[in-house]
Every structure is written in structure tokens, then in C-alpha cells.
Structure 1
Amino acid sequence: MNSDIPSTSVERKVEEIFKEIETYIKSEDFDRALELIDENRTYLQQNADMHHQVLLNKHYAISLYRKIKDTYSKDKDTDAFVELFEKHRSYLEVHVGINEYKRLLDIYDRIQKKKIQGKLKIIIPVAIVLIGVLVFSFVNFESISLPNFSMPNFFQKNTGESPIAEEPSADESIDTPSNSDEETDELPSDEPIVDENVHNENEPNYILPSHSKELTLSDIEGMSSQDIRLAINEMYARHGYYFGSGANQRYFDQQEWYVPDESLRDASDVVNNFSDLENRNLAFLASQERRLRNQ
């Protein structure tokens, strides 16, 4: 607590802030509730007791969940919903209930499916027209005066037609471009994925190497839900997240590798800096922590 302010005054101000936050939540003004939390986060982290610290996270998660959900159900703004959900996805998965997160995920999946279907409605007719034009061109090849450009290599290969001068002949092999840079829907390999930019030599003694390898069940064998929760907090701490007063801050202050940044007080800002590997590991640890907690 701040020694310059009487304890009763601090407690009174904390209670007033929370009452105002709860008033906005009850009136479903979630934008204002989130703004009020952000405006007073530093003061509350420094002066609120543990009960209010937990309550603050609960209010923030509820307000964020309802704001994102209402963006879709009331405002019908699917683009805003997708933007908010993608920005706060990792935070929501950890801090809201399983059923609430699943509702948002179902809405997100439906929106993405409709977008794909909408693109297919445009692409498929265009593709059909192009195929029809190509077929017609080949059927009437001899009667059509071709423009002065080379036929694509794959047509030369299939039809046996001689290429136009300065193009490779049909007998020459045709290199197929590598698809290593293309996006795929395949699931990640079961083999551990190691970040080549991370040096393992003299690496700090982390709870889990969630920044440098794909975690599996074998990595968390024997760990409790509390252990996994601490490993999740470690991911934020590695990026300098400032936990404020409390057990988490005291624990990480004792770690030689921890360099806190007091400007990093919003978990969603830290998650935005996570690598793809860290985001996958965060989702994995969050699901396993809930599984152990619900056993």
C-alpha cells in the first residue's frame, strides 16, 4: 500500500472504483468498463488486496468476452468480431470459462467458413469459364490465329505441340516450383519444433522451454495444474510482463533472467509479441491446465 495515503482512504477508493466498474458491467456498457479498468489498473495493482486483484481479472475477462460477443450478436459486425477475437484469442482461452471460449470459437469458425464459401462462389464460376475457353481454344487450335506469346510449359508437355522459338522443347524436363512456402492445412508434425534462433548453450533454468520447442504431454508429465499455471506465467515473464504486487511478481523477481517492463501490464500486449510456436504452446498449456483443474 502507498504509505502517503491513509489505509482507509485507499480501501475506500478501491471499493469506489470496483463499484463503478460493476455498474458499467450491469448496464452492459462493456466499452466503458474496459476503459475504467485500464485507466485504474496501475493504481489497483499497487493498492488492491489479493481478493480485488482476482476480481479485477474476472471483471476484465467478462467485459472483454461480452464486448466481443455483442459485436457479433448485436452489432452484426463480423469484421470487428474477427479482429477482436484474433487479437485477444490467447488471453480469452486462459481467462474465460471453457463454454464461453467455445461459443466465441464457434462463431469465429462459422464466419471464416462463410468467407471461404463466398470466395468459392466467385472462384468456381471464373475457373469454369477459363477451362471452357481453354478447351475451345485447343479444339479449334488450327483455325485460331494465336497471339505472339509462348504456350505455358504444362500445355506443351501434355499436347506434344512444338514450342515457339526460344522456349524449351516439350521433351525437356519441366521444373515444378517448390510448395515449401505455401500455406497448408496439415497439422504440425509430432516431432519437436525447435526455434533455430534460440541458443541452448547456458540457457536459463526455465520451468518449461515453451519458447524453443513444441511441448507435448511428456513435457508436463507429473505437473499439477498449479505448476502449469506458473509455466504459463513464465511465458509472459520472459517477454518482460509486469505482474504488479503479489506472489507471481515476487517469484519472477528472484529469477536472474527476468527483466520486468512496468509499461507491460496488459497481457494481450505481451501475447501479440509471442511467436507462432509460443502461441501453440500457450494454447496447449491452457487446455492441459483446465483438464487437470477439472479432474
Structure 2
Amino acid sequence: MEEVKERFLDFRDWVVDRFYDIKDFLADNPNVKRWLVEGCIAIAVGILAGVITFNVLNHEKKSLAVSEENAAHPAQEQSADGSEDISAGASMDETDYGDVVIEVVDPGVYVGDIANWSEEEIAAAVSERSHYLDETTYWPAVESYWQTRGVSGNARFCTYLFDTTSKVYSASDFEGVPKDVIHIIKNEMYARHGYSFRDSNLMNYFMGQVWYSPSIMPADFSEKTFTETEVKNLDLLNSIDQ
């Protein structure tokens, strides 16, 4: 026991001696001391930057995966099939739009920043989101509708069904369009503004669209967001989607 104690004391004395040796060395070499301090600061800043970057990326990932469970639950009317029934307020009087040129979205044109992506990046994004479409009942009807328009491949996930932001449509433009697709077209107008859907069926459908980025909870969404053109189209779609 005495031997162990003696060894411990010897080790303690050695550590103390080395401490004072280092202290004297740094006192005699101020540049080395400065370098050590700067090095420690640089390491600390690097660690802090890494933590902040990780938290930001993790937050964006969680935002992308927002679901009904973490969305707000304001009082909303429900349609007969239980999906969300959201509208832009009271319907406007029926209006004669005159000789308005009616066009649908060119399926060959990707929307937003997607137009600048490579085909590999687009394919990766489509693959990453594909599992959401397995969890929604709307996709089969929309997929079939795209086929009737001659659209296939990744274009189905990278563009809008109708250009409701800049074009005013009439009821004849939606003749023959399946009811489920009409419902999606109407809700697509909300999705384009970042609306986060309470209904998981709708949420899963739009999460399967590469262009969709949920950013606004239902309680925070303002119908004043819609332009006059969008309101006209939304009124029309609400009258059809009964």
C-alpha cells in the first residue's frame, strides 16, 4: 500500500513539474501561446458552425416531412369523403371572361427551380418522394389523367396540373376530368402557396410532388394570398367539386 501511495505522489510531482515547465515555456515563447489560443478558438468555432449547420438541415428535413400529427388543427368543413374542403371564401358572381385564351401547363416545362436541375437530380428527388404516393388514394386517378394528356415520366411530379395562377378557366375546360382529379386541382392551388394539409391523404399526394414545399400551417394561412385570377379559378373549381 505504501508503495502505491509513493508511486502516486511521484506521478503527482511529475505532473506538477511538467505543468510549470509548460507554463515557463509559454511565458518565454508568447507566439506559441498565441497560436495555441487561436487554434483552440478556431476548433470551437468549427464545432459550433457544424452544430448550427446540422440543426438547420435537420429542421428543413422535419419541415419537409410535416404531417397531420404535427400540423395545426383549426376548425374546417369536411367534404363527404372526409378530405379537406377549403375555399377562398364566398363565391363570386358568375362572370363572362370573354375571349380568354385557355391553356394548360406545358408538361414539358418543369416549374420553379426544378427547371435548372439535372435529370439525375430530378430522378433522385422523384425517387425520394415516391413512397408518399403509395399512401394516397388520389395518385391512381391523377396518374391515369396524366396518361390521357400524353404525359409520363418525371414530368408528372415536377409540374402543375393546371396553370391556375395566370390563366382563367371555364367549366368546359374541366369536362370529363375525374372528380378526384378536380379535387386535387383545387387543392393544388393551396399547395402552390405552401399550405400544409391536415388531411393525410392530400398531404401524402402533394408530398409526392417534387415542387411541393409545405411551409404554412392551416391556422396561419390567409386566403388573401390568392390573386384575383386564382380566386376566379377557385370559385369555379369549388362549384364543380361538390
* TM class, shorter-length: 0.3 to 0.5
Higher relative contact order (CA 8 A, sep 6+): 2
TM-score (norm 2): 0.40
Rg larger for: 2
